[in-house]
Amino acid sequence: MSQATLQNSHAAPAPLVALTEDETLFRENIRQFADESIRPKVREMDEKAIFEKSLIDQFFQLGLMGIEIPEQYGGAGGTFFEAILAVEEVSKVDPSAGVIVDVQNTLVNNALVRWTNDDQKKRYLPRQAADTVGAYALSEASSGSDAFAMQTRAEKKGSDYVLNGRKLWITNAKEAGVFILFATLDPAAGYKGITAFIVEKNFPGFSVGKKEDKLGIRASSTCELIMEDCKVPGSNVLGEVGKGYKIAIETLNEGRIGIGAQMLGLARGAWESALKYSQERKQFGKSISEYQGIQFQLAQMATEIEAVRMLVYNAARMKDAGMNFVKEAAMTKLFASQVAERVSSLAVEIYGGYGFTKDYPVEKYWRDSKIGKIYEGTSNMQLQTIAKMLLGGK
Which residues are marked as active site? 376
Nearest CA to 265 among 228, 313, 229, 300? 313
Q: Is residue 314 within a helix (H) or strand (E), and if so which, with residue range? A: helix 292-320
Given a contact cutoff of 8 angstroms between Cβ atoms, the answer to whether 186 and 197 are in contact is no
Q: String of b and e for 353-380 (b: at least 16 CB within 10 Å)?
A: eebeeeebbbbbbbbbbbbbbebbbbbe
Given a contact cutoff of 8 angstroms between Cβ atoms, the answer to whether 23 and 85 are in contact is yes
Residue type, 85: L
Specify the 3-state DSSP secondary structure of 52. coil
Q: Where are the alpha helices (H) located in 176-243, listed in sequence order?
A: none
Specify the 3-state DSSP secondary structure of 70. coil
9 Cβ neighbours under 8 A, 6+ residues apart: 22, 23, 25, 26, 76, 78, 82
CA atoms within 13 A on the CB side of 252: 20
Measured between alpha carbons, how far is 72 from 122 in angstroms, rounded to an integer? 10
How far is residue 179 CA from its own chain's centroid?
A: 15
Query: Could you tell me where the beta strands, DSSP code E, fall in 105-188?
Result: 133-137, 153-157, 160-171, 176-184
Measured between alpha carbons, how far is 234 from 309 in angstroms, rounded to an integer? 42
Residue type, 345: S
For 71, other C-beta atoms within 10 Å of its C-beta total 13
